[in-house]
Structures are given as structure tokens and as C-alpha cells.
Amino acid sequence: MRVRTTVGGAVAALSLCTAQASAQSRFDVGLLLGSTQASDEGSVLQFDRGTTYQATFAWRVWQTDGVNLSIEVPFIASPAFTVITPGPSLPLEYASLYLTPGVRVTVVPKAAVSFFGAVGVGYARYSESKLKADRTANPNQRDTNAGALQFGGGVDVRGFGWLGFRGEVRDVYTGARNFSIRTPGARVHNVIGSGGLVVRF
């Protein structure tokens, strides 16, 4: 009986401590895996979806019972968008990364399930592959630096104390990409759907 009482007390204390730690946390780090659909370059270059990795750091700067305001810094990278338009002289693929600091507003942050919207501005980089589709060298390979506007939203699910789960959709809207062949050069939408873990501390 005494052992059961001790174990029960320990579990209750641990639950209370983790709940307090979660409630008092001001920072979170999201580690997400997803997929990006990027704008095509008309009929000249069309792309497959790219696997996307994301790490987002956020700092809560203001809160009420119903709303939280955080500063966040998402870092998003897609190592390879494969070119699916046929043609041996076309680039094989390209990579992208985005760094877009901004703000996040979370509604009902203390609930088991909360919702957020985010917006930010920053930097995008596109890097064309050094190989063509026929695997020969691409001597005119180009990199592009561009401005970026990022916006989106998602859902946070509370887990156990410091651990949670997140699903989100973002659109990173950037300046034109430069490739080794002539393209329309329109601005680019990068629609990203991702999910993963959130660590709070």
C-alpha cells in the first residue's frame, strides 16, 4: 500500500512539474519534415515536388489567456527539385533555402490543440545543379539570391510536458530564379506542407 502511495505521489508530482514547465516555457523549436510544390517556369521548366526540411525557433514576447504573440525564425531547405520537362540539355535539378524571420500569432495557446498564423520576410537562395539532365557538366550553372515573403498557418498539439506536435502549410513567395537557359522569370510560389515535433523550454 505504501509503495502504491509513493508511486502515485511521484507520478502526480512529475505531471505537475511538466505541466508547469510547459506553461512557463517562452521558447520553442519546431523540427519538421514536408514537401514543397514550387511554381513552374511555364512550359520551359517544370518541377517535381521537393522534400523539405524545416527548423523554426520562436520566442514568445506577449501573451493572454486567449492569444500568444511570438517572434519566429524559420529556416527551410529543399535539397532537390527534379526537372521533369524532357530534354538532355536542361538542368537536372535545383535546390532552395529560405530564411524568413517574422511573427506568429497563436490562438487558445493553453488548449490541447491550438491554431496559429505566421508571416515573415527575408532571404531566398536558389542553386541550379552543376549537371544537366544527361549527367554532363552544366558550365552555365547559376545561383540566385532573392527577397522572400512568407505566410501561412497551422495547428499545434500538446504532447507530454515539453514535447508537442505541429502541422502547417506555408507559402514562400520570392523573386525570380535564374537558370542556365532562358525562362519567363516570374516570381515564385513555394507552397510547403510539413509536420513534426515541437520542443518547448
- pLDDT tens digit sequence for 59-91: 999 999 899 999 999 999 999 999 999 999 999
Q: At residue 188, does pLDDT exceed 90?
A: yes
| pLDDT for res 25 | 74
pLDDT at residue 9 greater than cutoff 60: no
The stretch 122-151 carries a mean pLDDT of 97
Instruction: Supply the DSSP symbol for 24.
Output: H
DSSP 52-76: EEEEEEEEEEEE-SSEEEEEEEEEE
Q: Where are the beta strands (DSSP E) in the chain?
A: 27-38, 50-63, 67-82, 93-99, 102-107, 113-128, 143-158, 163-174, 188-200
pLDDT in tens, 91-110: 999 999 999 999 999 999 99
Interval 10-68: pLDDT, tens: 334 334 333 444 445 799 999 999 999 999 999 999 999 999 999 999 999 999 989 99
Which pLDDT score, from 0 to 100, does residue 185 have? 87
Domains (range + CATH), the chain: 26-200 (2.40.160.20)
